Chain A
Amino acid sequence: MNHALTLITFIPIAGMVVVLALPQAMKDICKWIAAAATAVQLLIAIWLYRSFDTATTAIQFAEKHDWIPSYHITYFMGVDGISISMVLLTALICFISVFASFSITRAEKAYYALLLMLDAGMMGVFVSLDFFLFYIFWEVMLLPMYFLIGIWGGPRREYAAIKFFLYTLLGSVLILLAMLGLYYYGAQSTFDMTVLASNASHYSTTFQRIVWIALFIGFAIKIPAFPFHTWLPDAHVEAPTAISVILAGVLLKMGTYGILRVNFAILPEATHQLAWLFLGVIGTINIVYGAMCAMAQTDYKKLIAYSSISHMGYVMLGCASFTAAGINGAVLQMFNHGTVTAMLFILVGVIYDRAHHREIAGFGGLAQQMPLYAGMTGFAFFAGMGLPGMSAFISEVLVLIGAWQTHPLMTVFGAATAILTAGYLLWTYQRIYLGPFNEKYAGYADLTFREAFTLVPLAIIVLILGVYPHAVLGLLNTSLVHLNQIVLSTPGPAVALLH
């Protein structure tokens, strides 16, 4: 399979074409075509996972062809340990989200076509090693997401979609400018990320910093990092369940992935000097601020959205630590957050599909009526709290271990926020599932087979990665230790603030 990466990226496009070509009368099979396309994609991802050599830092499954030679633009795909984990996550979440979409009944053809296009865009971002190609895929994601929220969303969908679009567009423009800057001011005109990485020292320090900050803001919007985060709760609240799953499960990881792939690898010196502030301090703010805001929410889905902001903060803090444990923990946290948050949003969708509202205060005692649902939610909540034995514990502990070496004060905030997380999640759990049963909800069906089918695989992964995290950590370690070494070999920050 010399074209595995091309295949895994464009399988959804093939699915999209088929979906679009279907006559309107056959719209009921759209979902099955989407399911088939994502299933094939998942199988390829598993094959890639099995064939991946964890001992080398080299790019694997590489494909490189000239594309626009006059501008040195190539069609360059390949994966290392960081991207392979994200490829796996993307394939998994997209497959799950197709099944989470079955409750969509309006304009299914368009819906599944856009979903598959989004899938291809995300996959493309993770496998591209040519900055131009990376950027193209980055932009390809944008439009489907806009429409998926704007058309199939809730009552305030237009506001949310435009907010999403504007924020992301601002980010895209900054990334584009930074990309062009790197192209024009480099030792050689190239978009090849591996070459750009080896030429980092040719840029002046000031230039590096400016480009670094532009890239950071571009990526930070996606994470989303404080104070660029307010689009996320709105987008989540309006987005249909499956789109929230993708948004939280995969899209947010683009931000931190981009920081590692571009900021870390191409601008290691600026990274070394600026990370403590932009990743460390802002990451810590994310952790605490997200948790504090989550506590104040009255909308179930918005609460989960803020908890995402909090959990993504650990990824940033881990990256800022410049230790093997911290950075491994950060990328593992990206993966774990993907699976856990996907579960959480599916679970919110389950009750929304039945009750058509998400006011936490409006529920009560659901555990009596829907014991399976309540049990699964309890599982996901404790996974979200980073309970040992579950996946997120490993990544959060690794982040804290790493960060403790370099930023002890921030680590204290990170560790203490676990209290707040338990606070808002258990409080939510009590208000929705415990206490006297609210008779209004009598007659609600427990989890359906389809719903269970979307949740159980994720739950199993959460458990497996809790007791055997090596299944993912094994992929990451070599690449991340190497990347970390590159950053650490550059001069560090002059100001040792907060150290």
Chain B
Amino acid sequence: MNVEFAALALILVFPALGVIFNLFFGARLGRGAVNLVGPGVMFLAFAVSTWAFVKILAMPAGGALYCPLWRWIEAGSFHVELGLRVDALSGVMVMVVTGVGSFIHLYSVGYMAHDEDYARFFTYMNLFALSMLILVLADNILMMFVGWEGVGLCSYLLIAFWYTNPEFAYNGRKAFIVNRIGDAGFVLGILTILSALAHHGVWTLNFVEIQSHAGLIGTTAATAAGLLLFLGATGKSAQIPLYVWLPDAMVGPTPVSALIHAATMVTAGVYMVARLNFLYMLAPDAMAVVATIGALTAFFAGTIAIVQPDIKRVLAYSTVSQLGYMFLGVGSGAFAAGIFHVMTHAFFKGLLFLCAGSVIHALEGEQDMNKMGALRKRLPITFWTMFIATLAITAVPGFSGYFSKDLILEGAYESGHFWLWLLGAITAGVTGFYMFRLIFMTFFGESRVEADKLHHVHESPPVMTIPLIVLAVFAAIGGWVGLPEGLLWGDAFARFLSPVVGNFKPAVEASPAMLSAIATGLGGLGILLAYVCYLRMPGLPVIAAWRAKALYDLLLEKYRIDELYNLIVTRPLFFISDQVLNRGVDRMVIDGAANGAGLVVEAGGEAARRAETGNVQHYAFVYLLGVIGIVAYYLYLVIR
């Protein structure tokens, strides 16, 4: 059942008004107005989203709201109509984006209280929200791409927010360019779908219409499109091989890390795969690639997180790792589980970043965990909320992350990916270790805070702690919408999404309780190990790092992937661009030939100059040559 619902447009209009207001009037009207409008428009959008979501809940399964806008592009048979659509899938996403987004905007009021550029900050934040909502609400894939690139733009603007620092500016640029690699794949994926359908006379990019004509897309085209689009996802959602930008993105203001680089934007790739589930179901090979890349990324990034000293970098690699889980889920066909993890991750990872921001705020910008410790008494709200979030991400039973991660691992196992399941389960242990390492190093043990900062340490103001508490509630109980089957209301989340993403069909029998016990046990083992290493025997990590120095350095230096890319891509590219093409082909070959010809003409010109008055312009001489040529041609025509 589809119902037209014009108010959907308001979800975009509010943030758009926020952008216009903050951009043109923000600096003039001052901090008070910006602090009101910036988060205000988000809460308004949240309210409209809730209204729409409640309507969806009230409709029979499979219902959707739509809002047609205008005919966007038309050229020959190709045409795209802009339109918004909220079904179960985009409904969940829009609630997460506006809900979590609202509270992060609110938190930003406190976090940016000492920054002069608050108007620019909220302009970018509102613009991000607008782009993300376009991405989520789009009813066709080209409009989705508008949001897709739009969030990339905002990511760039916000990573490089403090642009006078050249490193920050560089990291912003790196993020955008790496994303563009993925985006080129995304565009080609769109073209593949479009031409596969156009070949049969169907010109559409609308999701619903593509789905109803999905049978016309052959397996080869579906595989190609699936892989190309997934290349886009590896950029936006920071997967191997394009994950390198995300850890560097952490130099942006921390609310940005929470909103864009943890809760919302980076999950866009997962949303895209779930949105195009019907396409991926046609292409089992592409699905296998998605699942494999997801599992590998989850493990790989988790191992890097183990040794990082910077609190935000740990969380960044943790995000890359968790996104890997999500792709393992959707790649296994457990689309609902993947989206479920998108949602719970938005709660707990958004919260983790906000808590980290609160710690950093209290320590006046300090991010090195070696200079923290014993902060739990001084920052009680931050500690407790962060602790809850940590229980959620390490999948302690009862907390939100437990339910979603369990479903993903179950899906991986039951779809027949035993090795990927094993990798995912081991990663659960790694997660337990690095997260509790973070908690222990930050809040427990001896204080290593620098003396001059120690007496300034204070809990953040309510405008920051209220969002922490709200998100902590959701991080704790947000997973209860998807309980194991047979318990209370069971997996209501999957049932709600099933009209859009279908039901998961297991290929291998398994005992969910057994799988859950193994993953949870491994997680507990990781926590125990962190406890031993960082509380009971604090000297142990140092010894271990010294004993296995090569491995430790490799992890600390992030497997030196950045250096590798630099060596095999960036430097050859610059060499070809400058030495081969610009200096070689352009200046030597082409200009050399042209100047050589020019010299001949010039010599002729000199001759002509001497022959005539000595004042003949070059152009006149050449013009003369032209005329002679024409006359010669006429003569030829006549004589012939």
Chain B residues lying within 8 Å of A436, measured Cβ to Cβ, are 164, 166
Asked if A230 and B173 make an inter-chain contact with CB atoms under 8 angstroms apart, the answer reads: no
Q: Does B510 contact A (CB under 8 A)?
A: no
User: Contacting B591 at CB < 8 Å: which of A173, A230, A297?
Assistant: A230
Most buried by B among A227, A388, A398, A468: A388
Chain A nearest Cβ from B352, distance in angstroms: 29
Q: Does B370 contact A (CB under 8 A)?
A: no
Chain B nearest Cβ from A172, distance in angstroms: 7
Known: A397-B187, A412-B188, A422-B176. A473 touches B75 (CB 8 A): yes
With CB as the reference atom, state the residue of chain A lying closest to B156.
A426
Q: How far is the CA of A183 from the CA of B197 in the complex (A)?
A: 45
> Using a CB-CB cutoff of 8 Å, which residues 386-435 of chain A contact chain B?
387-389, 393-394, 397-398, 400-401, 404-405, 411-412, 415-416, 418-419, 422-423, 426-427, 430, 433-435
Chain B nearest Cβ from A73, distance in angstroms: 16
Q: How far is the CA of A35 from the CA of B584 in the complex (A)?
A: 44
Asked if A473 and B630 make an inter-chain contact with CB atoms under 8 angstroms apart, the answer reads: no
With CB as the reference atom, state the residue of chain A lying closest to B570.
A423
Chain B residues lying within 8 Å of A384, measured Cβ to Cβ, are none
Chain B residues lying within 8 Å of A296, measured Cβ to Cβ, are 574, 577-578, 581-583
User: Contacting A477 at CB < 8 Å: which of B76, B153, B169, B191?
Assistant: B76
With CB as the reference atom, state the residue of chain A lying closest to B630.
A176
User: Contacting A426 at CB < 8 Å: which of B72, B164, B165, B177?
Assistant: B177
Asked if B164 and A394 make an inter-chain contact with CB atoms under 8 angstroms apart, the answer reads: no
With CB as the reference atom, state the residue of chain A lying closest to B582.
A296
Q: Does A146 contact B (CB under 8 A)?
A: yes
Known: A165-B619, A166-B601. A328 touches B633 (CB 8 A): no
Chain A residues lying within 8 Å of B578, measured Cβ to Cβ, are 295-296
User: Contacting A325 at CB < 8 Å: which of B76, B149, B184?
Assistant: B76
Q: Does B448 contact A (CB under 8 A)?
A: no
Asked if A166 and B78 make an inter-chain contact with CB atoms under 8 angstroms apart, the answer reads: no
Chain A nearest Cβ from B78, distance in angstroms: 4
Chain A nearest Cβ from B19, distance in angstroms: 12
Chain B residues lying within 8 Å of A470, measured Cβ to Cβ, are 71-74
> Using a CB-CB cutoff of 8 Å, which residues 586-623 of chain B contact chain A?
586, 590-591, 594, 597-598, 601, 618-619, 622-623
Interface string of B181-197 (1 = CB under 8 A from A): 10110011001101100
User: Contacting A169 at CB < 8 Å: which of B198, B581, B622?
Assistant: B622
Asked if B177 and A184 make an inter-chain contact with CB atoms under 8 angstroms apart, the answer reads: no
Interface string of A166-180 (1 = CB under 8 A from B): 110100110011001
Q: How far is the CA of A397 from the CA of B623 in the complex (A)?
A: 42
User: Contacting A430 at CB < 8 Å: which of B72, B169, B598?
Assistant: B169
Chain B residues lying within 8 Å of A474, measured Cβ to Cβ, are 74
Chain A residues lying within 8 Å of B591, measured Cβ to Cβ, are 230
Q: Does B381 contact A (CB under 8 A)?
A: no
Q: How far is the CA of A481 from the CA of B76 in the complex (A)?
A: 7
Chain B residues lying within 8 Å of A297, measured Cβ to Cβ, are 582
Q: Does A437 contact B (CB under 8 A)?
A: yes
User: Contacting B184 at CB < 8 Å: which of A328, A416, A437?
Assistant: A416
Q: Does B163 contact A (CB under 8 A)?
A: yes
User: Contacting A434 at CB < 8 Å: which of B164, B187, B198, B601?
Assistant: B164
Chain B nearest Cβ from A34, distance in angstroms: 24
Q: Could you say which interface size class chain B belongs to?
A: 35 or more
Q: How far is the CA of A295 from the CA of B571 in the complex (A)?
A: 12
Known: A325-B78, A430-B173. A415 touches B188 (CB 8 A): yes
Asked if A411 and B191 make an inter-chain contact with CB atoms under 8 angstroms apart, the answer reads: yes
Chain A residues lying within 8 Å of B574, measured Cβ to Cβ, are 295-296
Asked if A166 and B590 make an inter-chain contact with CB atoms under 8 angstroms apart, the answer reads: no
Q: Does B376 contact A (CB under 8 A)?
A: no
Q: Could you say which interface size class chain A belongs to?
A: 35 or more
Q: Does A324 contact B (CB under 8 A)?
A: yes
Asked if B164 and A437 make an inter-chain contact with CB atoms under 8 angstroms apart, the answer reads: yes
Asked if A426 and B594 make an inter-chain contact with CB atoms under 8 angstroms apart, the answer reads: no
Q: How far is the CA of A437 from the CA of B165 in the complex (A)?
A: 10
Q: Does A365 contact B (CB under 8 A)?
A: yes
Asked if A289 and B581 make an inter-chain contact with CB atoms under 8 angstroms apart, the answer reads: yes
Known: A389-B150, A400-B191, A419-B184. A292 touches B576 (CB 8 A): yes
Chain B residues lying within 8 Å of A398, measured Cβ to Cβ, are 73, 75, 78
Helix, strand, loop or mixed for chain B's interface? helix
With CB as the reference atom, state the residue of chain A lying closest to B152.
A387
With CB as the reference atom, state the residue of chain B lying closest to A165.
B619
Q: Does A323 contact B (CB under 8 A)?
A: yes
Q: Does A293 contact B (CB under 8 A)?
A: yes
User: Contacting A329 at CB < 8 Å: which of B75, B581, B597?
Assistant: B75
Chain A residues lying within 8 Å of B76, measured Cβ to Cβ, are 323-325, 328, 477, 481, 484
Q: Does A201 contact B (CB under 8 A)?
A: no
Asked if A418 and B73 make an inter-chain contact with CB atoms under 8 angstroms apart, the answer reads: no
Chain A residues lying within 8 Å of B630, measured Cβ to Cβ, are 173, 176-177
Chain A residues lying within 8 Å of B618, measured Cβ to Cβ, are 162, 165
Chain A residues lying within 8 Å of B146, measured Cβ to Cβ, are 388-389, 393
With CB as the reference atom, state the residue of chain B lying closest to A233.
B586
Known: A230-B590, A324-B78, A387-B149. A180 touches B633 (CB 8 A): yes
Asked if A435 and B164 make an inter-chain contact with CB atoms under 8 angstroms apart, the answer reads: yes
User: Contacting A146 at CB < 8 Å: which of B188, B192, B619?
Assistant: B619
Q: How far is the CA of A469 from the CA of B78 in the complex (A)?
A: 14
Chain A residues lying within 8 Å of B180, measured Cβ to Cβ, are 418-419, 422-423
Chain A nearest Cβ from B636, distance in angstroms: 11
User: Contacting A473 at CB < 8 Å: which of B73, B195, B585, B590?
Assistant: B73
With CB as the reference atom, state the residue of chain A lying closest to B168.
A434
Most buried by A among B71, B78, B160: B78
Q: How far is the CA of A128 from the CA of B618 in the complex (A)?
A: 30
Q: Does B511 contact A (CB under 8 A)?
A: no
Q: Does A262 contact B (CB under 8 A)?
A: no
Interface string of B552-593 (1 = CB under 8 A from A): 000000000000000000000110111001110110001100
With CB as the reference atom, state the residue of chain A lying closest to B27.
A371
Chain B residues lying within 8 Å of A477, measured Cβ to Cβ, are 74-76
Chain A residues lying within 8 Å of B183, measured Cβ to Cβ, are 418
Q: How far is the CA of A405 from the CA of B194 in the complex (A)?
A: 10
User: Contacting B195 at CB < 8 Å: which of A230, A404, A481?
Assistant: A404
Q: Does B637 contact A (CB under 8 A)?
A: yes
Asked if A324 and B75 make an inter-chain contact with CB atoms under 8 angstroms apart, the answer reads: yes
Asked if B173 and A426 make an inter-chain contact with CB atoms under 8 angstroms apart, the answer reads: yes
Q: Does A300 contact B (CB under 8 A)?
A: no
Q: How far is the CA of A176 from the CA of B630 in the complex (A)?
A: 8
Asked if A169 and B626 make an inter-chain contact with CB atoms under 8 angstroms apart, the answer reads: yes
Chain A nearest Cβ from B629, distance in angstroms: 6
Q: How far is the CA of A272 from the CA of B590 in the complex (A)?
A: 29
Chain A residues lying within 8 Å of B633, measured Cβ to Cβ, are 177, 180
Q: How far is the CA of A422 from the CA of B187 in the complex (A)?
A: 15
Chain B nearest Cβ from A43, distance in angstroms: 28
Chain A nearest Cβ from B580, distance in angstroms: 9
Chain B nearest Cβ from A128, distance in angstroms: 20
Chain B residues lying within 8 Å of A388, measured Cβ to Cβ, are 145-146, 148-150
Q: Does A367 contact B (CB under 8 A)?
A: yes
Asked if B173 and A325 make an inter-chain contact with CB atoms under 8 angstroms apart, the answer reads: no
Interface string of A454-479 (1 = CB under 8 A from B): 00000000000001111001101100
Asked if A324 and B77 make an inter-chain contact with CB atoms under 8 angstroms apart, the answer reads: yes
Chain A residues lying within 8 Å of B581, measured Cβ to Cβ, are 289, 292-293, 296
Known: A323-B76, A416-B184, A430-B169. 13 other contacts (CB 8 A): A162-B619, A165-B618, A165-B622, A397-B142, A398-B73, A398-B75, A401-B191, A401-B194, A422-B176, A427-B173, A437-B164, A477-B74, A484-B76
| Chain A residues at the B interface, C-beta cutoff of 8 Å | 143, 146, 162-163, 165-167, 169, 172-173, 176-177, 180, 184, 227, 229-231, 289, 292-293, 295-297, 323-325, 328-329, 365, 367-368, 382, 387-389, 393-394, 397-398, 400-401, 404-405, 411-412, 415-416, 418-419, 422-423, 426-427, 430, 433-437, 467-470, 473-474, 476-477, 481, 484
Could you jot down 6 A-B contacts, CB within 8 Å?
A397-B142, A419-B184, A423-B177, A423-B180, A468-B72, A481-B76
User: Top 5 A-B pairs ranked by shortest CB distance?
Assistant: A324-B76, A328-B75, A296-B582, A388-B146, A296-B578
